[in-house]
Amino acid sequence: MSDTLISIRGLEKAFGEQAVLRGIDMDVHRGETLAILGGSGTGKSVLVKHLVGLLDADAGSITMDEGEVVGLGGKHLYAHRRRFGYLFQGAALFDSLDVGENVGLGLKENTSKSDDEINAIVAEKLALVGLEGIEDKRVAELSGGMKKRVGLARAIAMEPEVIIYDEPTTGLDPVTSAVIGELILSMKKSLAITSLVVTHDIPLVKRVADRAVLLHEGKLIFQGTVAELFASEHPRVRAFVTGTVPVSNGEAQ
Amino acid sequence: MTPLRSTGIYLGRQVIALLEDVGALARLQGQVFRFTPQLFRSSRLFMEQMLEIGNRSLPLVFVVSIFSGAVTAVQASYQFQAWVPLVLLGSTVFRSVVIELGPVLTALVVGGRVSAAIAAEIGTMKVTEQVDALETLSIHPVRYLVLPRFWAGVIMLPVITVIADILAIMGAYVVALLTIPNMTSHLFLEGIRLQFYAHDVFSGLLKAVFFGAIMTMTGAVFGLRAQGGAEGVGQATMKAVVASCLLILVLDYFLATVLFQVIFE
Ligand SMILES: Nc1ncnc2c1ncn2[C@@H]1O[C@H](COP(=O)(O)OP(=O)(O)O)[C@@H](O)[C@H]1O
Ligand SMILES: [Mg+2]
């Protein structure tokens, strides 16, 4: 048996009339890289936002090391969030701060470290993502790929146990995407971290993931290893993996 | 559906939306007060916000104050005609500026800019997930974003109002001397001295404190609830400005009632 870190059971979420998650059951194992797959707008971001309490579940439970996450509030929620690093789809860097301040903000606000200590950590994290010495740059000066990397440096600044990558390569050119893929691998190696990678980038899945789940119409229609993913006979899974229109099987037109 | 029924449903929705806004504002205000002991942690942001409010408002306040003071002098002397002793001009100008014109005109001018700027800043952060990013860094957005802006508004508005009052009275003084026959510097100042009440000044500044709270809180509440890209930010900004102006005028009435019909009656 693998060592389960996070366990999701019967997770449901609707926005008004629109049911986005309709009963999700899945586990995240300690130290693995799990790909969360699905088409645009299927609720991948909604799913991972529940893990850090950015959204409240309508039903179901999420446990991490046996502690319930759904319904956490106040300082318990903030303590829980400190176990995560979150790389947002659009990087979500703070426009009003420079690169160094972006990476160091969590440390500045949550720890009693001195400015010098924080600057040293910021320099180290920026080096880890291959961006030494850009502390003083404004966010507006950065390219898309650089923003993602700064976002990653910010996400790992407080040494999280789990990193959530929300579409880390979407909108990037293939070379930059490959660089991000290498970074995800090196994060895993150097920090011994559990990684959740939300994506529909199949080469990235091949490159970095150990296991994968596939979200479709509010449910997981596949969970298993990456080898099983590529061997799956399920028409929708095959369609997703090969990037083709689903074969007609009664439900498709 | 009958027109009456659909109008009823429309009005009902508007009332519900209004109650939601009021509820959100009250909840946010509660959070701001709860986080207030931690204001020292954001002292730099707090200073920055105070400077920003000052920079944003002073040029406009300058022009608006001088001219509104000048108009008050002209208007008062016209209304006095020969019936009211000219010595009362100074006190009339002074009291209307300090109690009402200074605080309210300043709040309307500054409030439009400040609430719009706050709604746009925070709204942009909301729709680009920067607010979520704060949350994932275990930083409460209300403490980090709203708290310094709120207290900066509460402190800066009285300061700006004092400046506006002085400018307006100077404007009135100059115009009175230049345009009213028989008006002298001594007469104008004597009028002010004759009916100077500290509680007039206090009431005006107390109003300014409340107006500073309103303009920052409306900006924050609509910014934090912005949804759906640039268009959502635009809507939040517009709502914030309208709400700020309306609430300033409504609150002015209630404060005037409480201050002059209950407390200093
Ligand atoms: N805060 C929200 N309020 C309302 N609807 C939302 C919200 N967040 C996401 N949705 C909706 O949920 C659906 C799934 O969104 P999302 O998880 O972002 O998709 P994706 O799989 O592309 O990440 C979309 O239809 C989106 O419009
Ligand atoms: Mg998404």
**A34 backbone dihedrals φ, ψ, rounded to 5°:** -110, 125
What pLDDT does residue B1 have? 65
B85: which DSSP letter? -
A227 pLDDT band (50/70/90 cuts)? very high
Answer whether B230's CB lies under 8 Å from B223's CB.
no
Chain segment A198-209, per-residue pLDDT in tens:
999 999 999 999
Contact A106 B124 (CB under 8 A): no
What is the pLDDT averaged over residues A210-235? 94
The C-alpha atoms of residue B135 and residue A48 are separated, in whole angstroms, by 14
What is the pLDDT averaged over residues A27-33? 95
What is the pLDDT averaged over residues A57-81? 93
What pLDDT does residue A247 have? 59
Q: Are strands A84-87 and A162-166 parallel, antiparallel or unpaired?
A: parallel
What pLDDT does residue A2 have? 66
Question: Distance between alpha carbon A62 and the CA centroid of its chain, in Å?
Answer: 16
Number of Cβ pairs closer than 8 Å across A and B?
Answer: 57
Unique residue bearing structure tokens 């703070």: A94
Of A92, A96, A110, the CB nearest to B138: A110
**A215 backbone dihedrals φ, ψ, rounded to 5°:** -95, 130
Question: Please, what are the averages of pLDDT over each run of 10 residues along chain B (265 residues)?
Answer: 82 88 94 95 93 92 94 88 82 92 95 96 96 96 97 97 95 92 89 89 95 97 94 96 95 91 79
Chain segment B129-165, per-residue pLDDT in tens:
999 999 999 999 999 999 999 999 999 999 999 999 9
Show residues of chain A in contact with B132, CB under 8 Å.
49, 54, 86, 88, 92
Unique residue bearing structure tokens 């559906």: B1
Predicted structure pTM score: 0.91
Q: Scanning every residue of chain A, which has its alpha carbon at the shortest distance from the alpha carbon of B144?
A: A109
Is the CB of A16 inside a 6 Å radius of any atom of ligand 1? Answer: no
Burial class (CB in 10 A: 0-12, 13-18, 19+), A109: middle
**Of how many residues is chain A composed?**
253
Taking alpha carbons only, the member of A192, A181, A164 closest to residue A30 is A192
Tokens of A244: 């083709």
Residue A68 pLDDT greater than 60, yes or no: yes
What is the pLDDT averaged over residues A146-175? 93
Angle between helices B102-127 and B147-179 (to 10 degrees): 150
CB atoms within 10 A of CB B211: 29
The per-residue pLDDT of chain A, averaged, comes to 92
Query: H-helix or E-strand containing B64?
Result: helix B43-80
What pLDDT does residue B80 have? 83
What pLDDT does residue B84 have? 82
| Strand arrangement of the beta sheet that strand A162-166 belongs to | A84-87, A162-166, A194-199, A33-38, A211-216, A219-225
A253 pLDDT band (50/70/90 cuts)? very low
The C-alpha atoms of residue B78 and residue B96 are separated, in whole angstroms, by 16
Taking alpha carbons only, the member of A164, A133, A173, A130 closest to residue A149 is A130
Q: Secondary structure of chain A in the HEC alphabet?
A: CCCEEEEEEEEEEEECCEEEEEEEEEEEECCCEEEEEECCCCCHHHHHHHHCCCCCCCEEEEEECCEECCCCCHHHHHHHHCCEEEECCCCCCCCCCEHHHHHHHHHHHHCCCCHHHHHHHHHHHHHHCCCCCCCCCEHHHCCHHHHHHHHHHHHHCCCCCEEEEECCCCCCCHHHHHHHHHHHHHHHHHHCCEEEEEECCHHHHHHHCCEEEEEECCEEEEEEEHHHHHHCCCHHHHHHHHCCCCCCCCCCC
Ligand 2: centre distance to CA A45 (Å): 4
Tokens of B180: 């009213």
CA angle B170, B158, B218 (to 5 degrees): 125
Q: Scanning every residue of chain B, which has its alpha carbon at the shortest distance from the alpha carbon of A78?
A: B138
Unique residue bearing structure tokens 């001295």: B193
Show residues of chain B in contact with A95, CB under 8 Å.
124-125, 130
Residue-range domain boundaries for chain B: 3-263
Answer whether A99's CB lies under 8 Å from A157's CB.
no
ipTM for the assembly? 0.92
Chain segment A75-101, per-residue pLDDT in tens:
899 999 999 999 999 999 999 999 999
A251 pLDDT band (50/70/90 cuts)? very low
Q: Scanning every residue of chain A, which has its alpha carbon at the shortest distance from the alpha carbon of B137?
A: A106
Taking alpha carbons only, the member of B251, B154, B260 closest to residue B197 is B260
Tokens of A93: 């860097």
Of ligand 1's listed atoms, the one at least distance from the Cα of A42 is 21
- Whether chain A has a CB inside 8 Å of the CB on B41: the answer is yes
Of ligand 1's listed atoms, the one at least distance from the Cα of A215 is 21
